[in-house]
Amino acid sequence: MNDIIFTHADTARILLESLPYIRRFSGEVVVIKYGGHAMIDEALKNSFALNVALLRYVGVRPIIVHGGGPQIGSMLQKLDIKSAFYAGLRITDEPTMEVVEMVLVGKLNKEIVGRLNMAGARAVGLCGRDGCLVRARKLELTGSGKDSAPGVDLGRVGEVTSVDTELLNLMSQADYVPVIAPTGMDEVGGAFNINADDVAAAVAAAMRAKRLLLLTDVPGLLDKNGLLIRSLPARGVQPLLDDGTISGGMIPKVKSCLTALDGGVEKAMIIDGRTENCLLLELFTDAGIGSEIVA
């Protein structure tokens, strides 16, 4: 495949195209859920760090919430601790919870923070127990759907009940980039393992973020013909859930987007984290690269 050659005029045109978007987002909070292949591939990790640094330099206030499911699974395997899943959720007993915190908080979070700092983003790592940032309760499976299992105990799997924004506001206003591991705490200080998309949505809603960006390993929402859905109103989501257009692992991501929109976020984006410079392409170009769900 031939390399695309940009002239000086092309470069100038791209910069000018980004200007109104830089103006629009300067001073605004943007919450980014970082996960998937973008957290594994070295080139993409470097690209992500540079994108976040550039966002900060032009006045955007990024907050990162990262995942780490594959890395947790790998560590559990090394320690010969068996994993079990139900309805896509990792059943988290006490030994598993220890590994979850070790990997998410002690290893991945600090690796991401280090890479962002090397790129010039001034990042600080946090977890849900820091400053009582993310309050949570045990997730109980109820209802009548296929995921209903009142008798199944998920262990230390939680759901967000509240987000304390004081620490995030202090850091963000001081030009630091908060990087949050998706754990939470209960009323007695115990830790919970929480889906990173859900934490990102809760943080975006609590911070009244301008945008929520979920990085995935697919182009975005696809229609029945496999074509990218560029924009979708929130009211248009349920029909696509009902007819199976939105299915599988995309269902919880879309529901997280709706949670953010219900909390006051203007738009939520599902974008392909495998695309180099995906954050800049989504936020600072006319076309964008993924799917947006609009309040």
Which residues are 162's β-sheet partners? 135
pLDDT the model gives residue 103: 96
Nearest to 64 by CA among 110, 129, 99: 110
Q: Which domain holds residue 111?
A: 27-294
Residue 256 near residue 204 (C-beta atoms within 8 A): no
165-186 pLDDT per residue, tens: 999 999 999 999 999 999 999 9
Q: Do the domain assignments include residue 217?
A: yes
Q: Do the domain assignments include residue 265?
A: yes
pLDDT the model gives residue 267: 97
pLDDT the model gives residue 6: 57
105-143 pLDDT per residue, tens: 999 999 999 999 999 999 999 999 999 999 999 998 865
Number of domains in the chain: 1
Q: Do the domain assignments include residue 16?
A: no
Q: What are phi and psi of 90, to 5 degrees?
A: -75, 120
> Tokens at residue 262, please?
């219900």
What type of residue sits at position 183? T
> Residue 58: exposed, middle, or buried by beta-carbon count in 10 A (0-12, 13-18, 19+)?
middle
Q: Do the domain assignments include residue 103?
A: yes
Angle at 292 between CA 20 and CA 137, to 5 degrees: 115
**CB neighbours of residue 159 within 10 Å:** 16
Q: Do the domain assignments include residue 18?
A: no
Distances (CA, A) of 4 to 1, 7, 47: 9, 10, 19
Q: Which residues contact 217 (CB under 8 A, 6 or more apart)?
A: 36, 37, 272, 273, 274
CATH number for the domain that contains residue 159? 3.40.1160.10
Q: Do the domain assignments include residue 3?
A: no
Tens digits of pLDDT across the chain (295 residues): 445 565 767 678 778 889 999 999 999 999 999 999 999 999 999 999 999 999 999 999 999 999 999 999 999 999 999 988 888 889 999 999 999 999 999 999 999 999 999 999 999 999 999 999 999 999 988 654 545 555 688 999 999 999 999 999 999 999 999 999 999 999 998 999 999 999 999 999 999 999 999 999 999 999 999 999 999 999 999 999 999 999 988 999 999 999 999 999 999 999 999 999 999 999 999 889 999 999 8
Burial call 70-100: b when 16+ CB within 10 Å, e when fewer: ebbeebbeeeeeeeeeeeebbbbeeebbebb
Q: Do the domain assignments include residue 212?
A: yes
Give CA–CA dist 46/172, Å, rounded.
22
Nearest to 64 by CA among 203, 188, 194: 203
Q: Do the domain assignments include residue 1?
A: no
Strand pairing category for 158-163 and 89-90: unpaired
